Structure 1
């Protein structure tokens, strides 16, 4: 049977399944290293998009366009892998559910979220390009591993790690969606400027949307128990925790009536 284009590309890149599996593991460990380097870099510089955007990082890309284009590879690359290759493992329930979690997030993030944005700051070109590269890299790593190579013990879907991880993913996904809804509706039509977000988890932390996404991928990592999912969760934690702390400090400096009991990321703690 003739190979489809995606299979031909992978066959040209890897001489065997063992080589590709080794590469996927290396990609996971590399992302851990990147997370460490990013952590150090973010001690000196905020992620340059949104309210922290700077012309030093290239010309501005309109916010809606940037979000749509940069998130789309995180959906299209995995979709091509699942539809264009023999996705042997997705017939197994743990793999299928984990792939579904991934797609559930990125269908919303790439096909829904960008079109709900109201206004929105432009994204510097350098940040935009890095986001595109990351979404391609991570999308391939997560879904190729789950659809082709991940093996779970019998009855894994009833294991506490999978049950707790899946529950965390779902709660984080809901918190992320609800927090984004609150942020979108802070201003009435025609209004400009920043306002204090209120309601939901924002009553406890400044970075409610970030806490939701961190929780999502932490749950995904617990349910998946792989270096691929764990490295993604770690990288997400590093980037979004830094973002939450920066937002918290910004809110405190801008609004005299900002709730003093509200924390940056972890309710009642931090």
Structure 2
């Protein structure tokens, strides 16, 4: 890996400059996505459409598209001169990132029951994004990020880590509820109930948004912040679309339930 990185970048200063540019570009992508999603839904799941390419098996799609966010960071940590991986703040932040993608790439896809195929374009874009973001997050943390000696006991890191954990657990629990909505042999959609679904339609999305907001707070970098913003833009739109769909689909859908933020939105 060091040979590849030295071929790509003439110096560490150049690589850090590129990493910073990647963070700024992701913020631009978030703004562009925010506008474009007013006109188009993210085309996967119940909104999948053949105009976005041939269908890819949903389990295969989730496994392959998420895998770069696990494998590439592991290569960067173990097969490069990762000068910051001996530092506790960096270790903990990398562990947060990897913990999410171990579950997302190696566990979540194989627990999916049914599920619509993913259009190829959505699959391909997600795959590219995971390469882009996996490199940006973990290369910065493993080789460039510097934190004060007492960073792990600072209010910012403690609060961010707590938010990450709450969001991660909320996401896992919400996915569990969604997987178990239908009994074996049943088809069709049902109203999710229990957990944070009692308050919002997009409980799983709220969990992941909270998770990466906590990661950004604990990491305190342009790179983690850009990822958090991009995630919030995409998943907030998804939550609103789901909420509207549920209201139109079910006459008895709880009217007090919000789309994403309990009691507010």
TM (norm. structure 1) is 0.98
Deviation at 1:88, TM superposition (A): 1.2
Task: Give the 3-state SS of the residue equivalent to 1:239 in structure 2.
Answer: helix
Deviation at 1:208, TM superposition (A): 0.1
Q: Does 1:187 align with 2:182?
A: yes
Q: Does 1:258 align with 2:258?
A: no
Q: 2:115 corresponds to which residue? A: 120
Q: 1:167 corresponds to which residue? A: 162
Match of 2:58 among 63, 69, 90: 63
Deviation at 1:86, TM superposition (A): 1.3
Measure, in 2, the Cα distance between the counterparts of 1:98 and 1:41. 31
Q: 2:150 corresponds to which residue? A: 155
Deviations 1:156-208 (A, max 9, x none): 01111100000000000000000000000000000000000000000000000
Task: Give the 3-state SS of the residue equivalent to 1:91 in structure 2.
Answer: coil
Measure, in 2, the Cα distance between the counterparts of 1:106 and 1:173. 11
Q: 1:231 corresponds to which residue? A: 226
Deviation at 1:145, TM superposition (A): 0.2
Task: Give the 3-state SS of the residue equivalent to 2:227 in structure 1.
Answer: helix
Q: 1:247 corresponds to which residue? A: 242
Task: Give the 3-state SS of the residue equivalent to 2:23 in structure 1.
Answer: helix
Q: 2:44 corresponds to which residue? A: 49
Measure, in 2, the Cα distance between the counterparts of 1:232 and 1:86. 24
Task: Give the 3-state SS of the residue equivalent to 2:85 in structure 1.
Answer: helix
Match of 2:5 among 7, 10, 20: 10
Q: Does 1:89 align with 2:109?
A: no
Query: How many residues of Structure 1 are paired with residues of Structure 2 in the alignment?
Result: 265
Q: 1:109 corresponds to which residue? A: 104
Runs of 4+ in 1 over 6 A off after TM superposition: none
Trace 1:216-227 onto structure 2 (pairs within 5 A). 216-227=211-222
Deviation at 1:44, TM superposition (A): 0.6
Task: Give the 3-state SS of the residue equivalent to 1:104 in structure 2.
Answer: helix
Gaps of 5+ in 1: 1-5
Measure, in 2, the Cα distance between the counterparts of 1:247 and 1:256. 15
Q: 1:79 corresponds to which residue? A: 74
Task: Give the 3-state SS of the residue equivalent to 2:131 in structure 1.
Answer: helix
Measure, in 2, the Cα distance between the counterparts of 1:90 and 1:208. 33
Q: 1:3 corresponds to which residue? A: none
**Structure 1 vs Structure 2 CA RMSD:** 0.4
Deviation at 1:139, TM superposition (A): 0.1
Q: 1:131 corresponds to which residue? A: 126
Deviation at 1:227, TM superposition (A): 0.4
